[in-house]
Amino acid sequence: MNLSTIAREIRVCTRCNLHKGRQRTVPGEGPSWARVMLVGEAPGREEDIHGRPFVGRSGRMLDEILKKAGLGRDDLFITSVVKCRPPKNRVPRRSEWETCIQAHLRRQIDVIDPTIICLLGGVATKALLGKYRLSEQRGRVFRRERRSFFPTYHPAGAGRNRSWYRAFSEDMDKLHSLAQSK
């Protein structure tokens, strides 16, 4: 099993209802040797058009903050808990993210075997860490087996709220330090 095989399976996946409204799937991108994975919530309009993660407005902001923190997209694997855009950008339902994680994200994590998984926003934090209060968990490191999980705000939320933006920038600085210490 490798990332290309998983991406091919995602492209034809009909395991949940989200496949009905998608233009393209967004399997994620980045090298198989990435030590850090970024996991967001779901593809949005631009991502659905291009089939690539975080290419819309929040993606541009993510790039800018990653760059300031000294992190490059080329060194990270970026994806989300569901690989198809929910209708009208609604929040993905538990049944959808459970299905997609089980079918695809778990295997992507197994192949990449990252040391740090940065969870972008409340849905990813709930889905992968079982934690429900992002305001209490953001910026903290949670150890699960061999990995560190690092929840922070979603870039879209950080783009709408100045204090979240500052917190998100600080978290990306911390993520850089964590990545260097592993």
Examine residue 124 and tell whether it contacts ligand SF4 (CB under 6 A).
no
Q: For tokens 């600080």, what's the residue?
A: 170
Q: Angle at the Cα of 64 (from 59 to 66), degrees rounded to 5?
A: 90
Examine residue 13 and tell whether it contacts ligand SF4 (CB under 6 A).
yes
Return d(Cα 158, Cα 137) in angstroms, integer.
16
Return d(Cα 93, Cα 123) in angstroms, integer.
9
Q: Write each residue from 64 to 103 as x if it is in contact with ligand SF4 (CB under 6 A), else as -, in one continuous string.
A: ------------------xxx-----------x--xx--x
Those residues whose C-beta lies under 8 Å from the C-beta of residue 12, and which sit 6 or more positions away, are: none
User: With respect to ligand SF4, which residue has the nearer C-beta, 25 or 137?
Assistant: 25
Examine residue 10 and tell whether it contacts ligand SF4 (CB under 6 A).
yes
Examine residue 18 and tell whether it contacts ligand SF4 (CB under 6 A).
yes
Question: Where on the chain is the footprint of ligand SF4 (CB under 6 A)?
Answer: 10, 13-16, 18-19, 25, 82-84, 96, 99-100, 103-104
